[in-house]
Structure 1
Amino acid sequence: METYSREEGDQVNILVVDDVPEQHLVLRSILEELRENIVEVSSGRAALAAVLEQEFAVILLDVNMPGMDGLETASMMRAYRRTRQTPIIFVTAYVDEKEMSRGYSLGAVDYISSPVVPEILRAKVRVFVDMYRMRNQLLARAAEREELAKVEAQRAAAEQARYRADFLARASQALTRSLEVDDTVARIVELPVPALADLAVLVFTAGEGVAPRTVAYVSNAAYAGAQTEAAGILLPRTLPLQALDDLVKECLSKGLPATRQIDGSPVLASSHDDGSVTGMPLELDAMTAWPLLVDAAQPCVIVLGVRHSIERIDEGPVTREFVSRAAIALENALLFSAIRDGDRRKNEFLAMLAHELRNPLAPIVNAVAVMRSAKSTDPHVLRWGSDIIGTQAEHLVRIVDDLLDVSRIARGVVTLRTEFVLLSNVIDRAIEASGPHYSRRSQTLIRETPDVDVVIEGDIVRLSQIVTNLLNNASKFTSPGERVYISTKYDGATASIVVSDEGVGIDPAFLPHVFELFAQGQTSLDRSQGGLGIGLTLVRHLTEMHGGTVQCESEGQGKGSRFTVRLPARAVQQLTKTQTNVVPIRRTQGARVLIVDDMIATAESLEAFLRIHGHQVQRASDGPTALLQARAFLPEVILLDIGLPGMSGFEVAQHLRADEALPRSLIIAISGYSQEDHRNRASDAGIDHYLVKPADLNVLIGIIEDYGQSKTPGNGAFA
């Protein structure tokens, strides 16, 4: 299947309609990352003039404007043919239900509250821009192919009779009438009967997670003993003949048409909704299979059966031309269906992401409001608020980490830190991480311990993530108070981790798609089970990166599910006793710490935290200022942001290491960039540690205190 991508210089137009100049600046700064042509107007009348001159992929429309407001402008736009289907996103500071209802009735695709969240606005606009570009490219490709088909048809019309040209013209018109897959399939099998054949069967072979399918159209003349001349019968479900099955295999293996002579009266079996099967004897002399889609996910062949005693047009070149057009029409229909499904899944994912982000943000906002309203000396409110904010912030970090993991895997930049790890340790860590899920839902997690422990060569963090995701998934889809089971087995070469539950189960139709990105079964509006639909995708990719496989089984809805992960392993002959790690008591005095970060809120909060722990702190908001303060302050520790304006954190670190007048400080990067290449660049620039925002402050304090101990072993303090 062909893919469509953006070509160099291929910009689409985005219309921004707002009477406030400052809002234009904000929206332009948000949308500039899309690298599209942004057209700005300040009134409804100017917007109407703009849409008459240009075509836009999406329109951002302010609701409250003087003169002609946003709703009136949208109503006028819907009256124009060019903008009848153009997506309109209303931007408003106040969302009224009545106003929202009217806006949706005018064809609005979304409402966004002002001030807008840049990532959400950019993501939504990008979806419509991509769909606009795909639609235009699809139409252009279809137009190109149609033009080519017309040229070929004209050449055939010059060489053949008028009747043949008329048939191809009718076929072309019928095949381009719809991009729906079922409609296209029906037309492909109906068109060649009886002009080219007495029987047409479209055979879809079994693909990955897709069952085989056959659709037949039979002329009345093909039935044995038939005397009447009916138009034909469409059979949406047929069971292939043995001769038909062999012919299809031969055609697909060679990628060329294959013909077989028929002896006797073959029987075409048709299945019905009640499960019964009807045998239909046919009178055919030969069947020819033509390849339609050979290299597709589900290869497809059309088989034409004929009786030589019936006169028809010279089917050789005409049939070849018809098959070519049918292949193009079917490919376009399948491509359009894939684009539409992808767009639907993107929209569902955006809705899920917004929901999952709002869940932790709501208690954070509430906790901040309570802390502001309470007395500053109330320790109970402070402790309660900090616990709420900390817990929900961890939840946000997990969501972002999952999204980043998917992105890294998609780009192939995930690096495993492999070592030999005990499978029991992996299970222990996963159970510990999943424990809160089971406690909140009053569920029982039953662990079956094997007789022999095994060792797996892999990344213990990623292996634990695999099992944790499976345990969390089982808890999510299991009712409160019920049980989930986890067990491990070893067959001499492979270790199996089995997680089974007594939950809602999986619909058989959805079972092949459980590991696909953003794939989720039917969910209710309350989103009580939550999740972004990426956990099982991570499980599959991380398992495959470890050389293993993962399998899902379910007998249907209400009958639970069973996930099995298989990994290469070897048995442990003798387990060595682990020594208890003794953590020394840190006794350090305050250090001189320089914080370099252009985000004032981040720098101030870090400063407050470090001062509580007895450290001397100064702040700088950019690279040049940091270098000047370093020469005067002589910091022992430097907390360095990477994304600084002007001079990056890497450049600052290089200047600090190159300045002989400065002592060698401990440089700790605290950055929002988590890619492996950023860590490598940090190491090359002389940075000692690399922490990703939001950094674990206990880890940060530990690094600083360990550094203080290493500097002065005698008393464990900074100089």
Structure 2
Amino acid sequence: MSDVDVTAHPSVRILVVDDLVSQHVVLRTVLEEPGQDVVCVSSGREALKEVLAQDFAVILLDVNMPDMDGFETASLLRSYRRTATTPIIFVTAHVDDAEMARGYSLGAVDYISSPVVPEILRAKVRVFVQLYRMNLELISRAAEREELARAEALRASADQARQRADFLSQVSHLLTRSLDVDTTSARIVDSAVPTLADVACVLLMLENESVPRTLFSTRPGAWHGVDAEREPPYAPPVPLKQFFDHAQQSLDRGEAVAVVGSTAEMFGSASAEPQRTASVSRKGRVAFYPLLNTVQHKAVLALGYEGEESRTDLTAVTTEFVSRASIGLENALLFSALREEDRRKDEFLAMLAHELRNPLAPISNAVSVMKAADPGDGQLLKWSYDVIGTQIDHMVHIVDDLLDVSRIARGTVSLRREPVPLSLVVERAIETSVPHFGRRSQTFVLNAQTDDVIVDGDVVRLTQVVSNLLNNASKFTPVGGNIALSTDFSDDHAVITITDDGEGIDAKWLGRVFELFAQGDSSLDRAQGGLGIGLTLARHLVESHGGTITCSSEGRGKGAKFTVRLPARTEPKPFPRAQDAAPLGGVRGLRVLVVDDSTASAESVALFLEIHGCEVSCAHDGPTALILARSFRPHVAILDIGLPGMTGYEVAKRMREDTDMRSCLLIALSGYGQDVDRQNSKAAGMDYHLIKPTDLDALTQLIAKNAAERGLDLENARE
């Protein structure tokens, strides 16, 4: 056995386990040589601790030790992975055949009697030390060879990785240079061929497009068996039915789907006859990767491989390519959606300006007519009043719709739910919409068979839904057209169906009619007008009641049908309807305090109430209102919220604190109409919260109703 260079490795350790310290000195003297460290311990427990901390070339173990003898220690040493094969030499003063047999059974390599012969012990230990060093040398050389092979593999892998990184970097650069959907799809398939596949196709299915888009790229000569007789350029491929089936399977699974077979048989070719295509049976594979899978957008990338060669080495780069293609296509679609939203927003703002100017023009004209007219021409003045009133109602409706959209967007719409007869909702909606039908000479037909159907909901909001649908039908139905409303009860749902024979809806717009600001026709001669938010409001209000609303149309000029389904039940007895309010008395003689920092607003309300016999006093700030209230002692106070010096809330609180004015009817009349404003009014002691501009006839009826409930003698109200 050749010697091993002891300087090539660190010192070799030898473990001596003996309970006699004198033996430690003897064995250390015998065994210590250059490159050999002798570690001595006095018990088996200490030996176990040492072998857990460091490796040993050989272990000298005394047989007879107190507490834990050598055999037990050897058994434990063999149970450790680190010392399972470490040579163990037993050292004992009494050699017995039975003990020797037991020692060898525990994995001992030798048995030495004590006192030891130094030369014999040294020679035996040296053999195991050299074997240990040779083993270390072999391990070291194997590690070097492995490191060399790893370095070579890493160099080759680095070259491939660099090429793939360059490819992926180029792909990312190409996909970020354009945010057009078709351009991005074309760059995806062009990048994939020929690096990743022989044939690539992006299948794009958009919510508003009935026909899917397909963009192809093929390696030159990929289908030479099909188009061998044709001169370039070759005819573009046409996906076959199985192509779409496998693409849908990939979307359903949400993972890649691989299909074995010829790419020509999968994709098809416009120039190939069916029999010729079928005759091309070259082996290959087509893999389908889902790129996008949302309700609005679905996209699949198909990569086709001709021949039998495997491309498993490109699996990782293909996966990364698919990921980047997915991101690029999603960004392009998001940009397209944002651009569309921006276009619709601009159209909406233009339409809003148009809709607001429409009522302002006749109001301005009516004012000019009133200025130029003879003061005694009552008929002309009445005409002007009617024009102004009608146009103001139109503007109020526009503002209310905008506020409703804002509340819905913020999720702050509150519903006052109660059992409501479906017939009551329909009656109120028809009453609201009948004037629209009359102005356009339209025929309206009602077919209601649901007198016993009850809906748990907000009667005002449900009426708004049905009236919006009726008004929408009237708007898009020509003069002399027909509109019908029918009700039914099915599967615990009330069903309201509104049909018309008007303009109808294009198929591409059916999925978007309920979107905010969506309008199918934004041309300048669009006579119907509107902001495109009525159907959005209807959808949100129906859904907030747990129902659904759908739209269908056979196309332009073929009318439209809207169907509302609401959870409902039937009552065995007719549901008691709210009776019409008893005729109210007047408000003559009531003292009314009007507080508003807008002089024109305060004076106009005061003038209207004075015409009806009220005694009215006005204030234009909070402190003045309180001073006037103490002397005037009003029966009713109409308070604006935004007042100088003191808010309307503070005025109301001070009036409620005054014992002489606690019974005063407090009405907030303000442009602030959010739910929090109504809550603040209630907390301040207000009885009602009305929004500007309000119907002054309704305000007068409200005052009269409360006066009657409080038992005021209206004709002799002054105290």
TM-score by length of 1: 0.71
What secondary structure is seen at the aligned counterpart in 1 of 2:508? coil
1:383 aligns with 2:382: yes
Structure 1 residues 704, 313: closer, same or farther in 2, change over 3 A? closer
Instruction: Show the counterpart of 2:670.
Output: 671
Answer whether contact 1:265 1:282 (CA < 8 A) is retained: no
Instruction: Show the counterpart of 1:9.
Output: none
Single out whichever of 178-187 and 626-635 deviates more from structure 2: 626-635
Answer whether contact 1:668 1:689 (CA < 8 A) is retained: yes
Mapped partners of 1:277, 1:336: distance in 2: 44
Answer whether contact 1:216 1:237 (CA < 8 A) is retained: no
**1:212-227 to 2 correspondence within 5 Å?**
212-223=212-223, 225=225
Single out whichever of 523-532 and 681-690 deviates more from structure 2: 523-532
Instruction: Show the counterpart of 1:447.
Output: 446
- CA deviation vs aligned residue, 1:307-363 (integer Å, no higher than 9, x gap): 355698952343233333322321221121111111000000011111111111111
Deviation at 1:694, TM superposition (A): 0.8
Answer whether contact 2:286 2:304 (CA < 8 A) is retained: yes
Instruction: Show the counterpart of 1:60.
Output: none
Mapped partners of 2:226, 2:162: distance in 1: 30
Answer whether contact 2:196 2:314 (CA < 8 A) is retained: yes
1:432 aligns with 2:423: no
**1:169-208 to 2 correspondence within 5 Å?**
169-204=169-204
Mapped partners of 2:213, 2:450: distance in 1: 47
Structure 1 residues 177, 373: closer, same or farther in 2, change over 3 A? same
Instruction: Show the counterpart of 2:472.
Output: 473
Structure 1 residues 168, 628: closer, same or farther in 2, change over 3 A? same
Answer whether contact 1:495 1:569 (CA < 8 A) is retained: yes
Deviation at 1:629, TM superposition (A): 2.2
Mapped partners of 2:320, 2:714: distance in 1: 89
AA matched with 1:545: S
Structure 1 residues 413, 580: closer, same or farther in 2, change over 3 A? closer
What secondary structure is seen at the aligned counterpart in 1 of 2:388? helix
AA matched with 1:529: Q
**1:579-594 to 2 correspondence within 5 Å?**
581=580, 583-594=582-593
Deviation at 1:374, TM superposition (A): 1.6
Deviation at 1:703, TM superposition (A): 2.6
Instruction: Show the counterpart of 2:266.
Output: 268
1:400 aligns with 2:399: yes
**1:193-592 to 2 correspondence within 5 Å?**
193-204=193-204, 212-223=212-223, 225=225, 238-239=239-240, 241=242, 245-246=245-246, 249-250=249-250, 253-254=253-254, 256=255, 258=256, 260=258, 262-263=260-261, 267-269=265-267, 283-294=282-293, 297-307=296-306, 314-450=313-449, 453-491=452-490, 493-575=492-574, 581=580, 583-592=582-591
Answer whether contact 2:240 2:267 (CA < 8 A) is retained: yes
What secondary structure is seen at the aligned counterpart in 1 of 2:427? helix
Mapped partners of 1:471, 1:554: distance in 2: 16
- CA deviation vs aligned residue, 1:663-705 (integer Å, no higher than 9, x gap): 5421110011222221111111101111111111112212323
Mapped partners of 2:330, 2:701: distance in 1: 60
AA matched with 1:238: P
Instruction: Show the counterpart of 2:649.
Output: 650
Structure 1 residues 558, 207: closer, same or farther in 2, change over 3 A? closer
Deviation at 1:445, TM superposition (A): 0.7
Mapped partners of 1:409, 1:288: distance in 2: 45
Deviation at 1:547, TM superposition (A): 1.6
Instruction: Show the counterpart of 2:35.
Output: none
AA matched with 1:194: P
Deviation at 1:642, TM superposition (A): 1.1
What secondary structure is seen at the aligned counterpart in 2 of 1:303? strand
Answer whether contact 2:592 2:634 (CA < 8 A) is retained: yes
AA matched with 1:484: I
Answer whether contact 2:549 2:565 (CA < 8 A) is retained: yes
What secondary structure is seen at the aligned counterpart in 1 of 2:485? strand
Deviation at 1:393, TM superposition (A): 0.6
1:637 aligns with 2:636: yes
Mapped partners of 1:452, 1:618: distance in 2: 49
Single out whichever of 294-303 and 514-523 deviates more from structure 2: 294-303
Answer whether contact 2:200 2:218 (CA < 8 A) is retained: yes
AA matched with 2:201: V
Structure 1 residues 201, 265: closer, same or farther in 2, change over 3 A? closer
Answer whether contact 2:655 2:662 (CA < 8 A) is retained: no
- CA deviation vs aligned residue, 1:183-242 (integer Å, no higher than 9, x gap): 101110111111111121223457588765443323344327269799997958634525
Single out whichever of 645-654 and 671-680 deviates more from structure 2: 645-654
- CA deviation vs aligned residue, 1:392-439 (integer Å, no higher than 9, x gap): 111111111111111111211112222222222222222221111111
Answer whether contact 2:201 2:303 (CA < 8 A) is retained: yes
Mapped partners of 2:500, 2:225: distance in 1: 58
Instruction: Show the counterpart of 1:74.
Output: none
Answer whether contact 1:215 1:237 (CA < 8 A) is retained: no
Instruction: Show the counterpart of 1:135.
Output: none
Mapped partners of 1:489, 1:277: distance in 2: 56
AA matched with 2:573: Q
Mapped partners of 2:453, 2:413: distance in 1: 25
What secondary structure is seen at the aligned counterpart in 2 of 1:463? helix
Single out whichever of 649-658 and 398-407 deviates more from structure 2: 649-658
- CA deviation vs aligned residue, 1:89-118 (integer Å, no higher than 9, x gap): xxxxxxxxxxxxxxxxxxxxxxxxxxxxxx
Answer whether contact 2:262 2:306 (CA < 8 A) is retained: no
Structure 1 residues 159, 631: closer, same or farther in 2, change over 3 A? farther
What secondary structure is seen at the aligned counterpart in 1 of 2:507? coil
Mapped partners of 2:711, 2:164: distance in 1: 95
Answer whether contact 2:261 2:286 (CA < 8 A) is retained: no
Instruction: Show the counterpart of 1:27.
Output: none
AA matched with 1:260: A
What secondary structure is seen at the aligned counterpart in 2 of 1:416? coil
What secondary structure is seen at the aligned counterpart in 1 of 2:511? helix
AA matched with 1:624: P
Instruction: Show the counterpart of 1:168.
Output: 168
Show structure 2 runs of 5+ residues with no match: 1-154
Answer whether contact 1:540 1:549 (CA < 8 A) is retained: yes
Number of equivalent positions: 560
Answer whether contact 2:656 2:685 (CA < 8 A) is retained: yes
Show structure 1 runs of 5+ residues with no match: 1-154
Mapped partners of 2:625, 2:276: distance in 1: 84
Mapped partners of 1:277, 1:685: distance in 2: 86
Structure 1 residues 259, 683: closer, same or farther in 2, change over 3 A? closer
Structure 1 residues 332, 247: closer, same or farther in 2, change over 3 A? closer
Answer whether contact 2:592 2:636 (CA < 8 A) is retained: yes
Mapped partners of 1:541, 1:336: distance in 2: 26
Structure 1 residues 221, 577: closer, same or farther in 2, change over 3 A? same
Mapped partners of 1:579, 1:261: distance in 2: 68
Mapped partners of 1:348, 1:159: distance in 2: 54
Structure having the higher Rg: 2
Mapped partners of 2:695, 2:432: distance in 1: 17
Mapped partners of 1:424, 1:516: distance in 2: 28
Mapped partners of 1:707, 1:623: distance in 2: 25
